Structure 1
């Protein structure tokens, strides 16, 4: 699987090139166009996911997020996993798996589903961002605070703590309302320049 992005960072479209028989999972509502012979089948993960498989000669498909913003390929090397904001994955190959449940996220959210999901494996995970993707590179011991609605993804190598902005105010681990995340380096975090609603 190879990915080429265009019209970024405001109206990103991703061209995914597939070798013969190669497949990628994506929401069929994000499909703009594909080469002839690329076939979708239901993935078994509900109505919002299909597996697109290339024919013997290979093929391509163009995907665009439902909302304006960037598309960002995230490389997985098989060693380090990433926690990603729920509903921000545009496409993934079978070699990148969604880990559910993931112990570190269960500990972070107290057993609730939370607004993050964990991925690991090898290959490219294609993310959809609200606005351009930005990053923070943290040195060892450097700590920053990020508002959940702007977070996109972070690697397993970073230390993270979830806390309430105001302990007496409303909070939700499902949406991140009333909460912030403290991150300690070394690591690189990905954020989106426009917050989720």
Structure 2
């Protein structure tokens, strides 16, 4: 995979082997090599809102661009460790990367609610989009850092994570992360974005 126009207006070019596919939202496809086929997968009889781009017998490529300004970041999954990712951050994923909606640690973190994180595992580049440049905190064992949810991009399974309220009496949302913070304990690396996803009020 190649990126260009980063970090302000990133575009990701996903290279596809013959018959290989990548999944993304339809509106993110800027261009593709000739012969790439688009199909809309369905789940339970309903369309998912995602599109699968499949290369022809000679292979090909797809250029994907986020809807707004910001960076694109290829997170390379090696198969040994899964990653939790902000649910608004995923631009594209190959078929070799799995979305794990029933991953137990996130269910324990959010309970029965749908939270602001999703879990992915497998191998290959999970292409992420961010409204600002990507930064990171590399934590040694037992070292702890606190991050607001709107700045979290991704973190590996090696980290210990606690979700807590900034003010227990204030408004909170598991869906958006409003009023909450995440405490991360090492070892591991937390990927963050240098700009918030949340639109400032007023």
TM-score, length basis structure 2: 0.94
- SS of structure 1 residue aligned to 2:80: coil
Greater displacement, 42-51 / 84-93: 42-51
The 5 Å alignment of 1:168-183 reads 168-183=169-184
Q: How far does residue 48 in structure 1 lie from its aligned partner after superposition?
A: 2.3
The 5 Å alignment of 1:67-146 reads 67-146=68-147
Aligned to 1:4: 2
Q: How far does residue 8 in structure 1 lie from its aligned partner after superposition?
A: 0.5
- Aligned: 1:148 with 2:146: no
- SS of structure 2 residue aligned to 1:36: coil
Q: How far does residue 121 in structure 1 lie from its aligned partner after superposition?
A: 0.7
Runs of 4+ in 1 over 6 A off after TM superposition: none
2 CA distance for matches of 1:95 and 1:19?
Answer: 13
Aligned-pair Cα RMSD in Å: 0.9
- Gaps of at least 5 residues in structure 2 are none
Aligned to 1:32: 30
1:144–1:182 Cα contact (<8 Å) kept: yes
- SS of structure 2 residue aligned to 1:61: strand
- Gaps of at least 5 residues in structure 1 are none
Q: How far does residue 43 in structure 1 lie from its aligned partner after superposition?
A: 1.9
Q: How far does residue 87 in structure 1 lie from its aligned partner after superposition?
A: 2.2
Task: Count matched residues.
Answer: 195
The 5 Å alignment of 1:39-78 reads 39-44=37-42, 46=47, 48-78=49-79
2 CA distance for matches of 1:44 and 1:18?
Answer: 22
TM-score, length basis structure 1: 0.96
Q: How far does residue 47 in structure 1 lie from its aligned partner after superposition?
A: 5.1
1:25–1:43 Cα contact (<8 Å) kept: no
